[in-house]
Structure 1
Amino acid sequence: MPTPSQQSKPAPPLGQLSTPRAAALAGVLFAILLITTMVLIRIQMPDHVEDSAQWLQSRRGALTTATVLMPFAGISFLWFIGVVRDGFGRHEDRFFLTVFLCSGLLFVAMMFVATAGIAGLVTSNNSVTDPAARTEVISFARMMVISASQTYALRMAAVFMISLATIWLKTRLMPRWLVALSYLAALVLLIGSEMSRWLTLVFPVWVLVVSCLLLARAGLIGERRDEGDRSRRLS
């Protein structure tokens, strides 16, 4: 039987995760992994189907590495979404929060689809022996990868940036120059996502900038979140 002094002894405090710093580290990891994956896949992809067969054969190891890295990039991005949302505290707006979450999840899904297309393309390069059939398979897979990664994924990334920038604008959790930069980058992705393959790097670079700023402002964001949580409990 525990003594009264043992019963009244307070439990040891639980450790707390530094959410803003964790968000920044997850964002940095996501940016590095996604940039690496997109350089290995989309940036180096030939413009013509005839060159793709040789590209698949010569770059098989690099493409396989990209397909292995993409799931970890997606996991990092999901962590980034969760901890960034936690930083909003009582400032959450249900409408923009819903758009923020859904667009982020759709972006990850589209990037997974594009990477799965590359994985299937690498596998089929050796299994499909008929030259005509191989050309058709390569042509279909290329267009699927381009459409998933540029037409759909980048536009979902633009919506993600717009919704997050709007939340920042209303809550003043981040500086106005970052809000303006987010709106500008999102507009570029919405309008010109199919104009250049290099635009696929705009989103991970933006996440990298946001992550570095979160690292620099981790204490300030944490204080504002804690103040909001205390106000909500008191009310």
Structure 2
Amino acid sequence: MRHPAPPASAARSLSTPRAAALAGIVFAVLLAAAIALVRIALPDGASGADVTIAPGRRGALATALELVPFAGIAFLWFMGALRENAGDAEDRFITTVFLGSGLIFVGALFASVAAAGTVLDSDQGSQFGRHFAYTLLTTYAMRMAAVFVFATSTIGRKLGVLPLPVALFGYAVGLVLLVAGSSFPWSEMVFPAWALIVSLCILSGRSGASGASRASG
């Protein structure tokens, strides 16, 4: 006896959380790797003769430039899947902040990496390019990331997708990115760490829900 196919809304409710979680994990890994490579290749605060980039560091920077576009694509997929998961229960104000901050973050991230790429144009690199890259990353991109974290934590908490400790952790991460990001090197790594934790939380929640439905069936 053939069972009727599940409605499209049910299929969406099952697949969307998994898509969001997987995209978030990919984004977190790629962004963390790209930030680490840029930090290693272009130490913040160096000047003068320190601008010269060793061949190994040039390779690390080139690798970071290759990773960031894929991180941006995964982040956009992460955003779309999260918004689709909210469905009709979304709050228009918070969702507008969510979408706006996320899109500006991606634009500023791409611009910062493009500025870092100017360092590869000459053997001595570009002091202006490095300074501009870190300004875009820590001052603009990460502060937009802070707004995105605040909005996502609020939406996740209102919909019951994120437990209270994860939501509170998100607010703490947002404060770090908003207030202390430009003053403490490597502090931007808390953003991919947050994305990874949220993704794993969504993925484990879906697995638990699937297991419960199989047990009840």
> TM tier, shorter chain?
0.7 to 0.9
Distance of 1:64 and 1:145 partners within structure 2: 14
Higher RCO structure, 1 or 2 (CA under 8 Å, sep 6+): 1
Aligned residue pair count = 203
1:196 to 1:51, Cα distance in 2 relative to 1, 3 A: farther
Contact 1:45 1:52 in 2 (8 A): no
Contact 1:26 1:77 in 2 (8 A): yes
Q: How far is the alpha carbon of 1:142 from its aligned partner?
A: 1.4
1:138 aligns with 2:126: yes
2:204 is aligned, of 216, 221, 228, to: 216
Residue matched to 1:109: 107
Distance of 1:121 and 1:44 partners within structure 2: 10
1:26 aligns with 2:46: no
Contact 1:49 1:138 in 2 (8 A): no
1:51 to 1:35, Cα distance in 2 relative to 1, 3 A: farther
Contact 1:111 1:153 in 2 (8 A): yes
Report the AA paired with residue 23 of structure 1: A
1:153 is aligned, of 141, 146, 150, to: 141
Residue matched to 2:213: none
Q: How does 1:39-50 map to 2 (within 5 A)?
A: 39-46=36-43, 47-50=45-48
1:201 aligns with 2:199: no
Residue matched to 2:215: none
Q: What is the percentage of aligned positions where both structures have the same residue?
A: 42
Q: Which is further off, 50-59 or 108-117?
A: 50-59
Q: How far is the alpha carbon of 1:51 from its aligned partner?
A: 4.5
Distance of 1:43 and 1:205 partners within structure 2: 19
- Per-residue CA deviations over 1:13-58 (Å, capped at 9, x if unaligned) read 8895611111111111111100110000035522222354322544
Unaligned runs of 5+ in 2: 211-217
Q: How far is the alpha carbon of 1:170 from its aligned partner?
A: 2.4
Q: Aligned with 2:42: secondary structure?
A: coil
Unaligned runs of 5+ in 1: 1-9, 127-133, 223-235
Contact 1:52 1:138 in 2 (8 A): no
1:59 aligns with 2:57: yes
1:171 aligns with 2:159: yes
1:189 is aligned, of 177, 184, 208, to: 177
- What is the TM-score with the length of structure 1 in the denominator? 0.79
Q: Aligned with 1:59: secondary structure?
A: helix
Give the greater-gyration-radius structure (CA).
1
- Per-residue CA deviations over 1:45-77 (Å, capped at 9, x if unaligned) read 222223543225441111111101110000000
Report the AA paired with residue 78 of structure 1: L
- Per-residue CA deviations over 1:127-175 (Å, capped at 9, x if unaligned) read xxxxxxx6xx722111111110000011000000111112223222221
What is the root-mean-square deviation in Å for CA atoms of aligned residues? Answer: 2.5
